[in-house]
């Protein structure tokens, strides 16, 4: 049976204009045609949806989430959650978080490090039609140098968590890390090039992976045709990695001009994750913390990121929408704020929507993010026009979701 979505207003993720009087034809979960309404002829048995007042747009993509984490903001509680919950419990909870993204119109997400294969298992259950949910790409465990950003110190010496992270030291161990994550089912590799540093606030970041380690990851992933995403702060490590063919720069608080030029030349994606930076300023902090170097770092990185975003927009780099949901912020309900920040940084509303749809889809490479022939029928029906007001996306009651051509009734 064909499904037909008729609409007076269509955002297709490609054009910066709203298209009028269109008709989307869906067969077997895919978009097979997008026609002008006047050229459409119905067939017996078609299931037709008429959306005369709503705006129809592609399902959105959050390219940076952490399904294994809840978004709890207290550092001690964040750690306690990891100790309290079995990986099985984390996976069940993570599945609920995946649905939170879906219900807010994010039909595709990319998980950027989940202990114990949590995100890989959620992805498999959805992919194998055992559970309904968004499309998920997962990296398994991020590769980090020992004691690095994703292998954090500060646990008691008797504490021994298994599979929380994948520490590697030296090119060979990084190669082993890549292969181990792929064996576990990773769709791509996450690394950690550089990290924030409060040692010298004139240079508030430091390189973690050596150039040799970066080269080794680049070489093996190129051979295997696997993409690499990397947590970054600033400095020479990003330049090196972009030179080596890194696929996406995550965070990138301090992007220098040379790196931005290289990103343009090499088609590297930028995922600024503005929300997670701004989120630090949602809370009332005590004066002691506000006079600390850590607070200063938050202020510096916040300022720097707006500058990096401006450079990236000016240079026409592909900027994808990623929130870091799970880390400092909940899943789904705040995602729209990342689009608002992209607008604050210089994009139009429609450009921010395209970042959260087409560009995110291109980054994932799984036929999502636009309403075009051959794409998955992941489609949103919005009460109101997000190209005029992004905030409409903050209320899930304004969002109806078609996933693989099926309308999710009452959300799930
Ligand atoms: Zn993250």
Average pLDDT over residues 372-386: 98
User: Quick check: 410 pLDDT over 80?
Assistant: no
243 CA distance to ligand 1 centroid (A)? 23
pLDDT, residue 254, reads: 95
pLDDT, residue 363, reads: 98
94 CA distance to ligand 1 centroid (A)? 15
247 CA distance to ligand 1 centroid (A)? 16
262 CA distance to ligand 1 centroid (A)? 23
Average pLDDT over residues 15-21: 98
211 CA distance to ligand 1 centroid (A)? 22
Instruction: For residue 83, name the pLDDT band (cuts at 50, 70, 90).
Output: confident
pLDDT, residue 155, reads: 84
122 CA distance to ligand 1 centroid (A)? 18
315 CA distance to ligand 1 centroid (A)? 25
Q: pTM of the full predicted structure? A: 0.97
User: Quick check: 412 pLDDT over 60?
Assistant: no
Indicate the SS3 state at residue 69: coil
Average pLDDT over residues 60-84: 92
User: Quick check: 411 pLDDT over 80?
Assistant: no
Residue ranges, CATH 3.20.20.140, the chain: 60-364
Average pLDDT over residues 148-176: 89
User: Quick check: 153 pLDDT over 90?
Assistant: no
Strand bridging mode 205-207 / 143-144: unpaired
251 CA distance to ligand 1 centroid (A)? 8
327 CA distance to ligand 1 centroid (A)? 7
325 CA distance to ligand 1 centroid (A)? 8
230 CA distance to ligand 1 centroid (A)? 9
Instruction: For residue 391, name the pLDDT band (cuts at 50, 70, 90).
Output: very high
324 CA distance to ligand 1 centroid (A)? 5
Alpha-carbon span 270 to 318, nearest angstrom:
6
126 CA distance to ligand 1 centroid (A)? 22
Class of domain 60-364: alpha beta
237 CA distance to ligand 1 centroid (A)? 18
9 CA distance to ligand 1 centroid (A)? 35
Task: For tokens 């609920």, name the residue.
Answer: 96
Q: Which residues contact 262 (CB under 8 A, 6 or more apart)?
A: 239, 242, 243, 268
Burial of 394-409, coded b for 16+ CB within 10 Å and e otherwise, reads bebebbbbbbbbeeee
Q: What percent of the chain has pLDDT over 90?
A: 86
Residue ranges, CATH 2.30.40.10, the chain: 3-58+371-407
225 CA distance to ligand 1 centroid (A)? 23
Q: What's the distance, Cα to Cα, between the start and end of the chain in Å?
A: 23
Q: Which two tokens stand for residue 160?
A: 């021994």
74 CA distance to ligand 1 centroid (A)? 16
- Mean pLDDT for all residues in the chain: 95
Q: Which residues contact 130 (CB under 8 A, 6 or more apart)?
A: none
Instruction: For residue 327, name the pLDDT band (cuts at 50, 70, 90).
Output: very high
pLDDT, residue 144, reads: 95
273 CA distance to ligand 1 centroid (A)? 8
User: Quick check: 311 pLDDT over 90?
Assistant: yes
Exposure on the CB side of residue 201, measured as CA atoms within 13 A: 10
Average pLDDT over residues 332-347: 98
190 CA distance to ligand 1 centroid (A)? 10
Query: Among residues 229, 319, 329, which one has the least CA distance to residue 275?
Result: 329
374 CA distance to ligand 1 centroid (A)? 31
208 CA distance to ligand 1 centroid (A)? 16
pLDDT, residue 48, reads: 96
User: Quick check: 157 pLDDT over 90?
Assistant: no
pLDDT, residue 125, reads: 98
Which of the residue ranges 78-82, 210-214, 386-390 would you say has the lowest mean pLDDT?
A: 78-82
Q: What percent of the chain has pLDDT over 70?
A: 99
User: Quick check: 69 pLDDT over 80?
Assistant: yes
Instruction: For residue 75, name the pLDDT band (cuts at 50, 70, 90).
Output: confident
pLDDT, residue 389, reads: 98
26 CA distance to ligand 1 centroid (A)? 35
139 CA distance to ligand 1 centroid (A)? 12
User: Quick check: 76 pLDDT over 90?
Assistant: no
CATH topology (fold) of 3-58+371-407: Urease, subunit C; domain 1 (2.30.40)
């Amino acid at each position: 049976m064909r499904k037909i979505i008729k609409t007076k207003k269509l955002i297709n993720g490609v054009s910066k204009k709203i298209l009028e009087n269109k008709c989307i034809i869906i067969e077997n979960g895919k978009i097979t045609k997008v026609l002008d309404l006047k050229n459409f002829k119905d067939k017996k048995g078609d299931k037709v949806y008429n959306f005369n007042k709503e705006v129809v747009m592609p399902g959105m993509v959050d390219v940076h989430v952490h399904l294994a984490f809840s978004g709890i903001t207290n550092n001690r509680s964040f750690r306690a959650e990891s100790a309290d919950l079995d990986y099985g419990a984390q996976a069940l909870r993570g599945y609920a978080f995946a649905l939170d993204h879906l219900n807010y119109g994010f039909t595709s997400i990319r998980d950027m490090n989940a202990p114990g294969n949590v995100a890989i298992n959620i992805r498999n259950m959805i992919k194998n039609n055992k559970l309904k949910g968004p499309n998920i790409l997962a990296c398994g465990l991020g590769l980090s140098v020992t004691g690095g950003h994703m292998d954090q110190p500060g646990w008691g010496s008797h504490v021994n968590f298994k599979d929380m992270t994948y520490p590697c030291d030296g090119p060979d161990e990084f190669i082993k890390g890549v292969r181990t994550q792929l064996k576990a089912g990773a769709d791509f590799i996450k690394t950690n090039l550089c990290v924030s540093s409060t040692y010298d606030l004139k240079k508030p970041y430091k390189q973690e992976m050596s150039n040799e380690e970066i080269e080794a990851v680049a070489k093996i992933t190129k051979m295997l045709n696997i993409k690499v995403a990397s947590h970054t702060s600033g400095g020479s490590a990003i330049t090196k990695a972009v030179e080596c063919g890194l696929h996406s720069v995550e965070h990138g608080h301090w992007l220098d001009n040379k790196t931005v030029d290289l990103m343009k030349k090499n088609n590297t994606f930028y995922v600024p994750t503005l929300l997670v930076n701004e989120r630090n300023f949602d809370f009332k902090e005590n004066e002691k913390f506000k006079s600390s170097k850590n607070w200063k770092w938050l202020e510096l990185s916040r300022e720097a990121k707006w500058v990096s975003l401006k450079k990236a927009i000016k240079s026409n780099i592909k900027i994808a929408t990623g929130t870091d949901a799970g880390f400092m912020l909940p899943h789904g309900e705040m995602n729209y704020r990342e689009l608002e920040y992209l607008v604050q940084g210089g994009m139009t509303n429609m450009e921010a929507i395209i970042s959260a749809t087409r560009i995110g889809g291109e980054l994932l490479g799984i036929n999502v993010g636009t309403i075009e022939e051959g794409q998955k029928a992941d489609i949103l029906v919005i009460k109101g026009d997000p190209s005029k007001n992004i905030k409409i996306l903050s209320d899930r009651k304004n969002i109806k979701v078609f996933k693989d051509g099926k309308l999710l009734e009452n959300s799930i």
